[in-house]
Amino acid sequence: MARVLSVMFVASLLLMILGICRASRVGVCYGRNADDLPTPEKAVQLIQMHNIKYVRIYDSNIQVLKAFANTGIELMVGIPNSDLLSFSQFQSNANTWLKNSILPYYPATKITYITVGAELTEAPNSTSALVVSAMQNVLTALKKAGLHKRIKVSSTHSLGVLSRSFPPSAGAFNSRHAFFLKPMLEFLAENQSPFMIDLYPYYAYRDSTTNVSLDYAIFEASSEVIDPNTGLLYTNMFDAQLDAINYALMALNFKTINIMVTETGWPSKGSPKETAATPDNAQTYNTNLIRHVINDTGTPAKPGAAVDVYVFSLFNENRKPGLESERNWGLFFPDQTSVYNLDFTGKGVVDMPAGGNTTGSNGTWCIASPSASEPDLQNALSWACGSGNVDCSAIQPSQPCFEPDNLASHASYAFNNYYQQNGATDIACSFGGVGVRTNKNPSYDNCLYATAGGKKAIASNTTATPSKTSSSSPQRSYRWTQHLLMAFPLFLLVPF
């Protein structure tokens, strides 16, 4: 008996260690509240080209689920607030939804999370009261299908779920939400599901510029903020907001529940009064965020702890109501060009945009990696000559760059055209890891590779013309910012 208990203890310890050591992940939110977006198939190609492995969607749209099939991308699927009544009333409704909307596409489409409802603290109490029973019914349906250990069930929240967020150690859940929050936390703990939170330092800065510095909001602070209760030092608002949730969970003795950030980001454009909504600030925030997360920095209260983060959003969404910033959270325009360059690996050096697309490669070119597999090269080449809007006419038969007629040569030409036309940055040569930069000009004979300024390959004998080949994310609430701003007193700022 003692030996059995010893084995169980060691196994539990190993599981705990593995949980602590798990690497953080960065994904993207794919909202579709727009009338000018590319097809889901093209959106998935774009996601793959940027090596994004984790995606959140806000419904269970069949076309979208099919587009993600056999990609290996892990998908978070959403059940909107409008469906909570039917899901909570009858188990059969959850069973039918799972049978019709999930099982036909799983496991080809790698669904790993189901979010039941979104930001319910901003919804009427009558809706909030439905969420836990709806979650339970979805879980029961998953158990019947034998998928409850592979697909986790949770719900997302805004920071309005807290009554207090400063200092972080005083973080506390609002008692007004206890009627649904307490049973939800018990559900999450019992089923080892994460607490999902949407964090937006942008709103806290925008609505309290006198108390919150821009540098602190975008991970660029040259000073620290002290939590007077713990003495912990904070260098950015994201960590402070995240630790406020950590402490709120600990205060209710839910220490084992992991936190997942299901939305965060920064808008690239806003109304005249939204002066911080710029491409530079958006790029700085998201670049620093990704590096912070990928490095498994953790937070001052939980150093080294892994946290998964989803950047909002893949595209600008032109049908979203509200201020101008609401329609400009995207990493990409609907035509699939970048709003600004962003490296999802957290390792590359990203150039800051300056008045639109930049040019100038400083004597570098982009070619196919010698170690790349043919399937990966083919996918990247197809994307570059299609959605990437590269002129691939020069690699057609009888054209100057057709020979040598092999995949690596053709991909190199297309990769370089895209690279030069999109600022000659690290990310513009990524192609999902199959592109590499070189200082050696790959031009040969009459095949001239593009150089700084976006010149295309030319040759005297060329005659060919260039070849061409809803549900939505919820509007983020502003209301919580009026009473939950991380309003750090100036006397707490301490220089490094």
Residues assigned a catalytic role: 119, 263
* 366: β partners: 437
C-alpha 291/C-alpha 263 separation (Å) is 16
* CA-wise closest residue to 164 among 237, 244, 255, 252: 244
C-alpha 161/C-alpha 171 separation (Å) is 10
* 164: β partners: 172
C-alpha 375/C-alpha 381 separation (Å) is 10
Q: Which two tokens stand for residue 375?
A: 């399937």
The strand pair at 365-368 and 435-438 is best described as antiparallel
- Residue 486 and residue 204 in contact, taking contact as beta carbons nearer than 8 Å: yes
Rg of the chain over all Cα atoms, to the nearest angstrom = 24
Name the H helices within 118-177: 125-128, 131-144
C-alpha 145/C-alpha 324 separation (Å) is 44
Beta strands in 199-329 (DSSP E): 223-226, 233-234, 259-264, 308-312
* CA-wise closest residue to 131 among 226, 50, 196: 196
379-395 b/e (C-beta count within 10 Å ≥ 16 → b):
bbbbbbbbbbbbbbbbb
Give me the sign of the Cα torsion angle 215, 220, 224, 227.
positive
Beta strands in 148-303 (DSSP E): 152-157, 162-164, 172-173, 195-198, 223-226, 233-234, 259-264
* CA-wise closest residue to 309 among 246, 258, 264, 248: 264
- Residue 153 and residue 101 in contact, taking contact as beta carbons nearer than 8 Å: no
Q: Is the peptide bond before 404 cis (omega within 30 degrees of 0)?
A: yes
* CA-wise closest residue to 351 among 269, 424, 278: 424
* CA-wise closest residue to 419 among 23, 49, 2: 49
Supply the angle between the helices 374-385 and 40-49 in degrees, to the nearest 10: 120
Q: Which two tokens stand for residue 294?
A: 């990928």
C-alpha 427/C-alpha 445 separation (Å) is 29
C-alpha 78/C-alpha 118 separation (Å) is 8
